[in-house]
Homo-oligomer: A and B are copies of this chain.
Amino acid sequence: MLKFLSKPFRQLTIPASDREFYRSLKHILGYSPDNLEIYKLALIHRSASVIISPGQKFDNERLEYLGDAVLDAIVADFLFGEFPSGDEGFLTKMRSKIVSRNSMNQLAVSIGLPNLIMVSNGALNHQKYIYGNALEAIVGAMFIDKGFKFTSDVVINNFLRQHINLDELQAIEHDYKSKLLEIAQKHHVKVTFDTHAINTEKQSPHFEAILFWDENEIGRGSGNSKKEAEQGASKQGIDWLEKNILSNSDE
């Protein structure tokens, strides 16, 4: 009853304490959110999590898990439509460029999300991808609040098309080897590649690269060219370094 009044008067039904939050959120997302509580949850980093009872905590990690998967599907669908003759390898590569932690973090900053995130100061200094993770959680919240189609339209039209340049992205070839050599130089460590052809029963020539950080093997890669194999090994090596060495230093 009188339901037709609800939309124009929505703001009147929002508690005074939430109106500022509602306005900021609406401004950032470009639409009127319905279930404010779920968006609030999406913005609580685990460093600021609310413990309800043992084993029960309120923070954005479950929503981040959900939003991450929803975002992947949205971006996969978006690229499927944008590149009707792009093959699955190309599409997969483009997708991982768009949803990379770096790119999501930048996107979160571009749309102005950081101001709304609840996080302890300590965590902000240590963890690099808080903003991008919160953006994923917001996508999860949006999906619960408004469904897939609506979320997909918002993500594509308000976020991706406004802030991501597909032509530029296409041109970027992630050069993991250069990045690795840079890290090595900074840490004064020698890196070497053992790269060699391997015999397989497959038709195409195949190479394998083994990457050593000082004397320790930290990555392997393979591919149809030496370059591809070394890129693969470098990517694995960077992942390993990020987990085991870079995350402990104060960068």
- A176 an interface residue at 8 Å Cβ cutoff? no
Q: A203-231 toward B: CB 8 Å interface, digit per residue (1/0)?
A: 00000100000000110101000000000
With CB as the reference atom, state the residue of chain B lying closest to A46.
B88
CB distance from A31 to the nearest CB of B (A): 18
Binds B, one of A21-29, A65-73, A160-168, A180-188: A65-73
Q: Is the CB of B76 within 8 A of A62?
A: no
Binds B, one of A9-17, A100-108, A109-117, A240-248: A240-248
Residues of B within 8 A of A148 (CB): 73, 147-149, 152
Residues of B within 8 A of A65 (CB): 76, 80, 88, 91-92
Taking residues whose C-beta sits less than 8 angstroms from the other chain, chain A's interface range is: 35 or more
Identical copies of this chain, number: 2
Residues of B within 8 A of A149 (CB): 147-149
Q: Is the CB of B73 within 8 A of A201?
A: no
Contact of A244 (CB < 8 Å), options: B70, B218, B222: B222
Residues of B within 8 A of A220 (CB): 218, 240
Interface centre among A68, A88, A240 (most CB of B within 10 A): A88
CB distance from A51 to the nearest CB of B (A): 13
Name the prevailing secondary structure of the A interface residues: helix
Residues of B within 8 A of A202 (CB): 248
**How far apart are the CA atoms of A77 and B151 in the complex, in Å?**
14
Q: Is the CB of B76 within 8 A of A69?
A: yes
Residues of B within 8 A of A131 (CB): none
CB distance from A143 to the nearest CB of B (A): 7
**How far apart are the CA atoms of A41 and B34 in the complex, in Å?**
39
- A121 an interface residue at 8 Å Cβ cutoff? no
- A20 an interface residue at 8 Å Cβ cutoff? no
With CB as the reference atom, state the residue of chain B lying closest to A86.
B62
CB distance from A123 to the nearest CB of B (A): 14
A72-B73, A208-B244 are known contacts; what are 11 more A-B pairs with Cβ within 8 Å? A56-B85, A61-B87, A62-B87, A65-B88, A68-B76, A69-B95, A73-B148, A148-B152, A149-B149, A220-B240, A222-B244
